[in-house]
Amino acid sequence: MAEAISLLPLNLSLFLLILLGVANRVHSFGEKTVLPLHKFQWNQHSAIPSCFSQKSRRENGATILEMKHRDYCSGPVNDWNERLQKHLISDDIRVLSLQTRIKNVVSGRIQDLSGTQIPITSGIRLQTLNYIVTVELGGQNMTVIMDTGSDLTWVQCQPCKSCYNQQGPLFNPSNSPSYQSVQCNSTTCQSLQFATGNSGVCGTDPPTCNYVVSYGDGSYTRGELGREQLNLGTTPIDNFVFGCGRSNEGLFGGASGLMGLGRSDLSLISQTSTIFGGVFSYCLPSTEAEATGSLILGGDSSVYKNSTPISYTRMAQNPQLSPFYFLNLTGISIGGVPLKAPSFGNGGILIDSGTVITRLAPSIYRVLKAEFLKQFSGYPTAPGFSILDTCFNLSGYEEVNIPTTRMHFEGNSELNVDVSGMFYFVKTDASQVCLALASLTYEDEIGIIGNYQQRNIRVIYDTKNSKLGFAKETCSLM
């Protein structure tokens, strides 16, 4: 009896220590990171007069191009809230169009176009594409929007039947002795069908290869396929195949055109594979005033500025979906707590530079939202905004501690979402700040990792070895 009594204080002490530890874990919820609110608010007066960027260099076999966010190249903003609303609406249209495009590829529904027809076919809305680089085409500077969800690179050309307003002059093939039209009976012209979903159309005189790329909102580009010398920094690319757009419609933010970074034969990556080995990477900057990132072509990792080791995962293999970049998402952790959802591992998730907000299957998003709210409790809420349904009023805080978000992939690879990619600042005074994640409509739709969650991450695409890597990096360090 005395022995039992003597053990009581020890057992009670152990019990209290365990209880204290549990209480402490419930209070802290594991991993958190500090969000300094003033640093990540949109600067409404940060627009700069020109999109052109001359900062590029060749280093250790890699070509490094400076990258900028398009919002700082599109002039002053009168109504920032309205612009953000349009961004998210356009982002939703892009996601819907990507889902349609994927379903059409899987089902084999590929349009065969003829004449001057501009059909509403599968595609993506370009208004949402955010990041631009400057290249030299035929001796002329062109600012193009980079997009991993597209394959054909194109720019607006003179003479133009119908063109949108862009900064700087249109590309003029007649001023370049190296420009050549692609013939309609060539294998290059035949490659259009796989690259764009639309077959090439023969012109009448001469028999040139005409292309059409139509997007989900009615925007389009139409013109002829050409070859020209492309200079990426100081690296010349001879006979580069691109679209010379003679009729273009849409809100392209003053850019000259688009750079296709997909996986088909006509993409920039495939056309430069003998030079850069099919490897490219980017680091997307945050929304700080005049923040810049970089697009690196080539696989020499010594030019990266990453602060953590590169974590690789294999690209999911699906011949039908080979133009896209798919990964196998095996889990997500919020504040170090693994989410429990049946959808993990059941299918691939698309990583895309053009989609803004990450979309998750409804079953995954529900548990993620619940866990985030559990760990980020005590803050005043705010109304939802467009596709974002989890918002807070943080105007009374200088900084907040938010739960970390980690995406886990096959091969023990992970994407640790940077603090700049966690909240979407709707109001500049932080009175409406929303969790920058959204749910898909249906469970069988494909999840998408958007560019907002890729900020301050070096994302490496190795198409030759079918793998993709992540590493933390401060993107402004070019």
pLDDT at position 202, please? 85
* Nearest alpha-carbon partner for 432 in 383, 371, 473, 396: 383
Q: How confident is the model at residue 11 (pLDDT cuts 50, 70, 90)?
A: very low
Residue 361 has pLDDT above 90, yes or no: yes
* Helix or strand run (H / E) with residue 12: helix 2-28
Higher pLDDT, 428 or 422: 422
Residue 127 reports pLDDT greater than 60: no
Q: Is the dihedral of CA 215, 220, 221, 222 positive or negative?
A: positive
Which of residues 218 and 207 earns the better pLDDT score?
A: 207
What average pLDDT does range 157-184 have in this prediction? 92
Mean pLDDT score of the chain, rounded to an integer? 81
Distance (Å, whole) CA 149 – CA 131: 13
User: Is the pLDDT reported for residue 106 higher than 50?
Assistant: yes
The answer to whether 79 is a known catalytic residue is no
pLDDT of residue 19: 35
Taking phi first (over 0 means left), then psi (-120 to 50 degrees means alpha), and beta for anything else, what does residue 185 get? Answer: alpha
Q: Active site residue: 147, 151, 418, 462, which one? A: 147
Whether pLDDT at 369 is above 90: yes
pLDDT of residue 207: 87
Higher per-residue pLDDT: 52 or 233: 233
Q: What is residue 2's predicted lDDT score, i.e. its pLDDT?
A: 47
Q: Are 114 and 201 in contact (CB under 8 A)?
A: yes
Q: How many CB atoms lie within 10 A of CB 347?
A: 16
Q: What's the pLDDT at 50?
A: 57
Tell the residue number behind the tokens 């900020």, with chain if given: 455
Q: How many CB atoms lie within 10 A of CB 66?
A: 18
Closest listed residue to residue 364, CA positions, set 344, 382, 386, 392: 344
Judge whether 217 and 174 are in contact, CB under 8 Å.
Answer: no
460/319: higher pLDDT: 460
pLDDT tens track for 318-329: 666 667 899 999
Structure tokens at 400: 């907040």
CB 225 within 8 A of CB 210: yes
In this prediction, residue 293 carries a pLDDT of 87
- Per-residue confidence (pLDDT) for residue 308, from 0 to 100: 93
Predicted pLDDT of residue 76 = 57
Confidence band, pLDDT 50/70/90 cuts, at residue 14: very low
Q: How confident is the model at residue 342 (pLDDT cuts 50, 70, 90)?
A: confident
Residues of the chain with CATH 2.40.70.10: 34-41+301-472, 110-271
Q: Give the pLDDT of residue 27.
A: 36
> What is the three-class DSSP state of 294?
strand
Q: Where are the beta strands (DSSP E) in 154-204?
A: 154-156, 180-181, 201-202
**pTM metric for this prediction:** 0.85
**Apex 159 CA angle, 158 and 163, nearest 5:** 75
Which pLDDT does position 188 carry in this prediction? 94
Query: Would the pLDDT of 295 be above 70?
Result: yes
Strand 140-147 and strand 131-137: the pairing is antiparallel
Phi/psi at 356 (5° precision): -85, -60
Render pLDDT for 242-269 as a digit per residue (tens, 0 to 9): 999 999 987 566 789 999 999 889 999 9
Q: Which of 71, 151, 217, 352 is catalytic?
A: 352
Report the distance separating Cα 209 and Cα 66, nearest Å.
33
Topology of the domain comprising 34-41+301-472: Cathepsin D, subunit A; domain 1 (2.40.70)
The residue among 362, 434, 328, 441 whose CA lies nearest residue 96 is 441
Q: What CATH superfamily is the domain 110-271? A: Acid Proteases (2.40.70.10)
In the chain, the N- to C-terminal Cα span, in Å, equals: 73
Least confident residue range of 72-86, 135-149, 248-262, 339-353: 72-86
Percentage of residues in the chain having pLDDT higher than 70: 78
- Span 286-296, mean pLDDT? 74
Alpha-carbon span 271 to 285, nearest angstrom: 27
24 band by pLDDT with thresholds 50, 70 and 90: very low
pLDDT band at residue 80 under the 50/70/90 scheme: low
Examine the residue annotation and report whether 352 is marked as an active-site residue of this protein.
yes
Give the per-residue SS3 of 62-89.
EEEEEEEEHHHCCCCCCCHHHHHHHHHH
Q: How confident is the model at residue 316 (pLDDT cuts 50, 70, 90)?
A: confident
